[in-house]
Amino acid sequence: MQGFFYKMNELLKELYQEIILDHGKEPRNFGECETHNKSAHGHNPLCGDKVSLTLFIDDDDFIKDIKFSGEGCAISVASASLMTEKLKGKKLSYAENMFKDFTDLVKGSEDSLSTIDEDDSLYALKGVKDFPMRVKCATLAWHTFKNALKD
């Protein structure tokens, strides 16, 4: 019995790691890029979480600047914040691989990750896999990023 209670507490601790609570409370890259050439709004109509993303992508397909604004739960805000940190300076092709790796990670399949490893800040969101209803919170910013690329 003790073990189970311990495990439940662990699930929550796994979900709400310090870095998630930190980014949830004080998101990085919050706002709008001074100049941007891509943007998108993301919205989770089931729960009302919202994110707006602006990007500046240079001629060589590097993400020179990326910022987000919006409102939502700690998971969705922290995920957006961590995403902007990771994507800044990355080439688009690499970023798209990251998108795939991240969505795999939060759904619980981490066998073929090429861009995210255990030391990565994004790895902190792995705990979402035990809360299937929260996967959408964690991936909202990433799907918005994908949509912005089509802008």
Partner 1 sequence: MNKDKTLRKDIRKDFPILSKKILKTKDLVYFDTAASAQKPQVVIDELNQFYKSHYSNVSRGVHTLSVESTLRYEEARKKVQNFINAKSENEIIFTKSATESINLVAQTFYDKYMSAGDEIILSLMEHHSNLIPWYFLRDKYGVIIKFANITESGEIDVNHFESLITPKTKIAALTHLSNVYGSKIDEKVSSICKKNNVAILLDGCQSAAHLRIDVQKLECDFFVFSGHKTYGPSGIGVLYGKEDLLNEMPPYQGGGGMIGEVTTDKVSYAELPAKYEAGTPPIAEAHGLGIAIDYMNNAGIENIINHEEELTKYAYEKISELDFVKIYGDGDNRNSIISFNIENIHSHEVSSFLDVEGIAVRAGHHCCQPLMKHLGVNSTSRLSFGMYNTIEEVDIFINALIKCKDFFIK
The minimum distance between CB 132 and partner 1, in angstroms, equals: 11
Measured from the CB atom, is 7 or 31 closer to partner 1? 7
Question: In the bound complex, what is the minimum distance in angstroms from residue 105's beta carbon to partner 1?
Answer: 18
* Best CA proximity match to 65, nearest among 103, 41, 44, 36: 36
Residues that bind partner 1 (CB under 8 A): 1, 4-5, 7-9, 11-12, 15-16, 21, 46-50, 71-76, 131, 134, 137
82 versus 113: smaller Cβ distance to partner 1: 82
Between 56 and 131, whose beta carbon lies closer to partner 1? Answer: 131
Which residue's entry shows tokens 């073929």? Answer: 112
In the complex, the smallest distance separating the C-beta of residue 131 from partner 1, rounded to whole angstroms, is 6
CA-CA distances (angstroms) from residue 109 to 31, 42, 45, 64, 82? 32, 24, 26, 30, 20
Which residue's CB is nearer to partner 1, number 14 or number 65? 14
Give least dist CB 5 to partner 1, A. Answer: 7
